[in-house]
């Protein structure tokens, strides 16, 4: 398991959390930080959804006394300890003719808890999985609206271009079902049950219409608006 974090960048000039500026940013110095998503608010202020380990694992060689301290520390979990004998130099002043003596030590593997300290305000917050999911959903909703705005803009231009054709056809009572269906499908964009993966197929009379073809090609602008859970990723 990891700790789930919502945090902003650091203001390089002030050293504080950059909650009100998109400029002069640097990543906070948090041990083991792994940025999963680099996002931004409606005001274009960058923030991140990141993870950090719940603990770090270490390997040390310690005495019996130090091993007891590890075992009694509530923030430490001893994973393993292997006893061994080692030769160490005799300390000066000991009544011994031997240059070395044998001591018992332990090769220890332990995990030490790593608890992220939240900051005042909204600069750094440890969040739950539910809060993480809500952050993603709210971001994607904002991004989807940007996509919809582009779709509506292009759709309105196409309808405007073909208005004269519709008026002329109505006067002559020659408006094809294909053309009427296409125009209605455009009007319905982007409010459909699934996210539109493109514009509806052009009716026969517009297959070679250069200006509308160019507008159709602007669907790539829709794809360029980043979403985390992107409904267009597999289309």
What pLDDT, on the 0 to 100 scale, is given for residue 4? 97
pTM over 0.85: no
Parts of the chain with a pLDDT under 70: 91-98, 166, 168-174, 192-194, 234-235
Distance between CA atoms of residues 99 and 91, nearest Å? 9
What pLDDT, on the 0 to 100 scale, is given for residue 171? 47
What pLDDT, on the 0 to 100 scale, is given for residue 168? 64
Distance between CA atoms of residues 190 and 156, nearest Å? 12
From the CB of residue 231, how many other CB atoms can be counted at a distance below 10 Å? Answer: 14
What pLDDT, on the 0 to 100 scale, is given for residue 157? 94
What pLDDT, on the 0 to 100 scale, is given for residue 130? 98
Q: How many CA atoms lie within 13 A of 185 on its CB side?
A: 14
From the CB of residue 157, how many other CB atoms can be counted at a distance below 10 Å? Answer: 14
What pLDDT, on the 0 to 100 scale, is given for residue 174? 65
Is-contact 178 185, C-beta < 8 A?
no
Sign of CA dihedral 79, 83, 84, 90: positive
Task: Dig out the tokens for 134 from the structure.
Answer: 């809500």
Task: Give domain limits for the chain.
Answer: 2-54, 55-113, 130-223
Sign of CA dihedral 172, 176, 180, 182: negative
Please give the biggest Cα pair distance in the chain. 121
């Amino acid at each position: 398991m990891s700790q789930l974090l919502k945090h902003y960048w650091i203001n390089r000039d002030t050293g504080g959390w950059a909650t009100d500026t998109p400029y002069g940013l640097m990543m906070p110095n948090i041990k083991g930080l792994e940025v999963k998503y680099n996002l931004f608010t409606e005001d274009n202020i960058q923030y991140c959804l990141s993870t950090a380990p719940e603990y770090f694992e270490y390997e040390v060689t310690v005495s019996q006394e130090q091993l007891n301290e590890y075992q009694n520390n509530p923030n430490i979990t001893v994973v393993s300890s292997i006893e061994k004998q080692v030769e160490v130099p005799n300390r000066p002043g000991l009544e011994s003719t031997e240059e070395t003596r044998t001591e018992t030590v332990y090769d220890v593997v332990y995990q030490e808890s790593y608890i992220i300290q939240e900051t005042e305000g909204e600069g750094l917050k440890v969040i739950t999985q539910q809060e993480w999911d809500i952050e993603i959903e709210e971001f994607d909703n904002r991004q989807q609206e940007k996509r919809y705005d582009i779709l509506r803009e292009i759709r309105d231009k196409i309808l405007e271009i073909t208005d004269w054709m519709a008026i002329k056809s109505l006067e002559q009572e020659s408006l094809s079902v294909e053309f009427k269906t296409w125009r209605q499908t455009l009007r319905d964009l982007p409010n459909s049950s699934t996210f539109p993966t493109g514009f509806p197929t052009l009716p026969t009379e517009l297959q070679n219409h250069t200006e509308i073809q160019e507008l159709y090609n602007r669907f790539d602008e829709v794809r360029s608006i980043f979403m985390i859970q992107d409904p267009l990723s597999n289309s």
